[in-house]
Structure 1
Amino acid sequence: MDKNSNMRKLQLRCDKADKPEIVSNMSDFIENDEGWPFLKVSEEQAIRDSTRPYDSKKNVWVPDPEDGFVTAEVRGSKGDLVSVVTDKGNE
């Protein structure tokens, strides 16, 4: 055996019958999950998100009654009060 085969880690997954099954890598496991299509972000959206400028002092998450949380940008602050504008345009 070569070093690579000794170093390769195998991952186990238990199905409903509790029979272990070898999974070659985690992406195979995730992509075969029945909920994956609902969680996956499109490649175009991932590219847009990764090229968007981000400033940890200005960009925040705020609670939203419809979506749970939405992104917002800090416009100003006075004491403990912070003024933000969400991506939806709400202030």
Structure 2
Amino acid sequence: YGGTYRLFEQVLVQYGIKFAYADIRNPQEFETLITENTKALFIESPTNPLMQKADIKAFGELAKKKNLLLIVDNTFYTPLLQQPINDGAHIVIHSAT
């Protein structure tokens, strides 16, 4: 999602926060990017605008294995269709619009 990307790359990097990006359909690709400084995984599922779904349970397992927070942007599905907390997410974001 463009808004999230801009938040990360234009605002949060000013605070020394670094970001890496990977294909949401491949949790193993995310694992290769984890460093000793990694604190969280942030995923959007389904993605905007391509509507690609992530295996949230797999990301939950990865976060647990690496002792990381899992943050899920659940804007499109809302809690009616998808409940990431039940799949291992620690923080879930929903749109208010």
| TM surpasses 0.5 | no
**RCO higher in structure (CA 8 A, sep ≥6):** 2
Rg larger in 1 or in 2? 1
TM-score, normalised with respect to structure 1: 0.23
TM-score, normalised with respect to structure 2: 0.22
Larger fraction in helix: 2
Larger fraction in strand: 1
